[in-house]
């Protein structure tokens, strides 16, 4: 009799497990990716010439999202510098080629500054090549070599 009760209990336990396995359920699957941008290529040296003359350069970037990134500019000296003498220059980075002279662009002495309207719609994971240029906005004060380091940063 005891064996029969144990066998009946085993069948009940097995049967209740089968009842628990019946039915359906839903599992929500999610994924996420952090927005990123990277500078793909940029001119490493640009030689300024005469006042208000545009000197074209190369700048390429890509982002992994739709939309526009924020581009930031920072001049180390506020312009090109030779000892105690500094001369301002303009910075241009936008979708279309400039139609105004460098004196109408972002000025080196006004950096750091950010600009977030480079493109209205950037396809994700596509290399973008906007128009990039620099140009003197005032004459060099004295003869000699002038230098500056322009830092360009990009963020989503």
Reported as a single tens digit per residue, the pLDDT across 119-155 is 666 789 999 999 999 999 999 999 999 999 999 999 9
pLDDT above 80: residue 53: yes
Question: Does a structural domain hold residue 18?
Answer: no
Going 103 to 143 to 110 to 47, the CA torsion angle's sign is positive
β-sheet bridge partners, residue 70: 155
DSSP string, 96-121: SPP-S-GGGSEEGGG-SEEE--S-S-
Question: Does a structural domain hold residue 29?
Answer: no
Q: What CATH number is associated with residue 63?
A: 2.60.40
**Region of poorest pLDDT, from 16-30, 40-54, 78-92:** 16-30
Question: Does a structural domain hold residue 78?
Answer: yes
User: pTM of the predicted model, to two decimals?
Assistant: 0.79
What's the pLDDT score for residue 8?
47
Question: Does a structural domain hold residue 32?
Answer: no
Predicted confidence band at 7 (pLDDT cuts at 50, 70, 90)?
Answer: very low
Question: Does a structural domain hold residue 5?
Answer: no
Question: How many structural domains compose the chain?
Answer: 1
What's the pLDDT score for residue 5?
42
Q: Which domain holds residue 92?
A: 37-155
């Amino acid at each position: 009799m005891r064996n029969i009760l144990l066998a009946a209990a085993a069948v009940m336990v097995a049967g209740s497990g089968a009842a628990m396995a019946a039915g359906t359920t839903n599992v929500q699957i999610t994924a996420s990716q952090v927005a990123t941008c990277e500078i793909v290529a940029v001119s490493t040296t640009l030689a300024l010439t005469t006042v208000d003359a545009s000197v074209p350069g190369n700048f390429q970037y890509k982002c992994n999202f739709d939309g526009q990134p924020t581009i930031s500019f920072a001049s180390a000296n506020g312009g090109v510098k030779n000892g105690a003498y500094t001369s301002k220059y303009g910075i241009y980075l936008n979708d279309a080629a400039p139609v105004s002279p460098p004196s109408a662009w972002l000025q080196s002495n006004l950096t750091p500054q950010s600009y977030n309207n480079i493109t209205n719609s950037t396809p994700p994971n596509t290399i973008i090549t906007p128009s990039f240029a620099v140009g003197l906005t005032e004459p060099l004060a004295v003869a000699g070599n002038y230098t500056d380091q322009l830092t360009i940063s990009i963020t989503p």
